């Protein structure tokens, strides 16, 4: 059995990393680490949530072209038993002639859509407790990313059969919610005409914290795209909004935990009106 993995961080390429860092700090309440460090051979700003154990590095911002609004460069999942993970995953990659990159004990591999996935040891948290006093709400962790794929079934197969994610729920072979820990899902894959990211999700401690964040967004003149509502898939309360570059963010709480994984629930195609929001209002689908 594969050891549990949690999503630890992502790397985003943005057209103006200074502006993006300010926005994520001021509007989304992320803590910005001082200075810059090198990520993927490029200078980066790190930001993260102010969790109970300290601050975690969860979003790295690197400078990109003004012609592209944003691009996902890397996702990192971490486990406390990296040795077992390597012993299980690397033979599967080798048997199928899938290239991977050794990064010391960690390693990286690209999924079928070219998304770079790093498997690693957990990074430490930094005790910056005074920073929590600056926020009217508390984000607790990076929850998941929902990818867009032109062949979502093939992408889902890679994460299930190679990296041992489990299907938590799916929409009849086209939309997949995948879990790698006790959280209902730590990755989702949506069908689309191309490849990319539908949204990045952060978790808050409670419904009260979600309301505080929504009030803060209103004070910042940031409109919600959708919510508040409750997804039937995963069971979490949600709100959605867009950042300054148009990247969608979900802020959630009360995601269902999976103690004993069961057979994945399969929703029929065309069931978005049922699965999206148990409380009723469903926004239009993306064009």
CATH number for position 86: 3.10.180.10
Domain-embedded: residue 285: no
**Structural domain includes residue 283:** no
* pLDDT for position 266: 84
In terms of Cα–Cα distance, which of 60, 51, 14, 6 is closest to 29?
51
Comparing CA positions, the residue from 68, 54, 85, 87 lying closest to residue 13 is 68
Lowest mean pLDDT among 79-88, 95-104, 261-270: 261-270
Asked whether residue 125 is assigned to any structural domain, the reply reads no
Better-scored residue on pLDDT, 286 or 247: 247
* Residues 107, 213 share a domain: no
Q: Are residues 210 and 96 in the same domain?
A: no
219 and 244 fall within a common domain? yes
DSSP sequence for 97-129: T--EEEETTEEEEE-TT--EEEEEPPPPPB--G
| Residues 10 and 108 grouped into a single domain | yes
Residue range(s) defining the domain that contains residue 211: 137-275
Top-confidence residue, 151 or 66? 151
Q: Are residues 109 and 195 in the same domain?
A: no
Residue 73 domain-assigned (yes or no) = yes
Question: Do residues 182 and 94 share a domain?
Answer: no
Identify whether residues 171 and 208 lie together within a single domain: yes
What is the pLDDT confidence band of residue 97, given thresholds at 50, 70 and 90? very high
Express each pLDDT in 195-234 by its tens digit. Answer: 999 999 999 999 999 999 999 999 999 999 999 999 999 9
Please report the pLDDT score of residue 140 as a whole number.
92
Q: Which pTM was predicted?
A: 0.94
Number of domains in the chain: 2
Where is 45: in which H helix or E strand?
Answer: strand 42-48
- Between 54 and 277, the higher pLDDT residue: 277
Q: Which class for 201: exposed (0-12), middle (13-18), buried (19 or more C-beta within 10 A)?
A: buried
Are 102 and 231 members of one domain?
Answer: no
In terms of domains, do 103 and 216 share one?
no
Tell me, what's the pLDDT at 129? 54
Q: List, in order, residues 6 or more apart from 91 with CB less than 8 Å away.
A: none
Task: State the Cα–Cα distance between residues 54 and 244, nearest whole angstrom.
Answer: 27
Distant-in-sequence, close-in-space partners of 171: CB < 8 Å, separation ≥ 6? 266, 267, 268, 269, 271, 272, 275
Q: Provide the b/e sequence for 114-139 (b: ≥16 CB within 10 Å).
A: ebbbbbbeeeebeeeeebeeebebbb
C-alpha distances out from residue 209 to 130, 164, 237, 259, Å: 18, 33, 11, 25
Which candidate, 113, 185, 115, 178, places its Cα nearest to that of 151? 113
Would 29 be classed as within a structural domain?
yes
Tokens matching residue 222: 């940031």
Q: What is the mean pLDDT of residues 36-59?
A: 90
End-to-end Cα separation, the chain, in angstroms: 40
d(Cα 162, Cα 18) in Å, to the nearest integer?
37
Using 50, 70 and 90 to split pLDDT, how confident is the model at 265? confident
Tokens of 221: 């003149």
Residue 133's pLDDT band (cuts 50, 70, 90): low
């Amino acid at each position: 059995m594969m050891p549990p993995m949690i999503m630890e961080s992502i790397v985003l390429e943005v057209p103006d990393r200074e502006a993006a860092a300010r926005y994520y700090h001021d509007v989304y309440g992320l803590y910005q680490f001082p200075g810059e460090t090198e990520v993927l051979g490029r200078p980066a700003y790190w930001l993260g949530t102010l969790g109970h154990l300290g601050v975690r590095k969860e979003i790295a911002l690197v400078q990109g072209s003004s012609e592209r609004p944003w691009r996902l460069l890397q996702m990192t999942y971490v486990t406390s038993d990296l040795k077992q993970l390597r012993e299980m995953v690397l033979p599967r990659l080798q048997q199928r002639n899938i290239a991977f990159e050794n990064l010391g004990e960690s390693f990286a591999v690209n999924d079928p859509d070219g998304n770079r996935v790093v498997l690693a040891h957990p990074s430490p948290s930094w005790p910056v407790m005074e920073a929590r006093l600056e926020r009217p709400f508390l984000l607790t962790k990076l929850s998941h990313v929902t990818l867009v794929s032109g062949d979502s079934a093939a992408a889902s197969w890679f994460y299930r059969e190679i990296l041992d994610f489990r299907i938590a729920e799916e929409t009849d072979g086209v939309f997949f919610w995948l879990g790698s820990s006790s959280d209902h899902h730590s990755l989702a894959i949506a069908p689309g005409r191309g490849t990319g990211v539908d949204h990045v999700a952060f978790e808050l401690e409670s419904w009260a914290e979600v309301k505080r964040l929504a009030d803060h967004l209103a004070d910042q003149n940031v409109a919600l795209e959708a919510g508040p509502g409750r997804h039937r898939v995963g069971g979490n309360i949600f709100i959605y909004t867009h950042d300054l570059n148009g990247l969608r963010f979900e802020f959630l709480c009360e995601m269902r935990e999976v103690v004993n994984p069961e057979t994945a629930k399969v929703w029929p195609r065309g069931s978005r009106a049922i699965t999206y929001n148990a409380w009723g209002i469903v926004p239009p689908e993306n064009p």
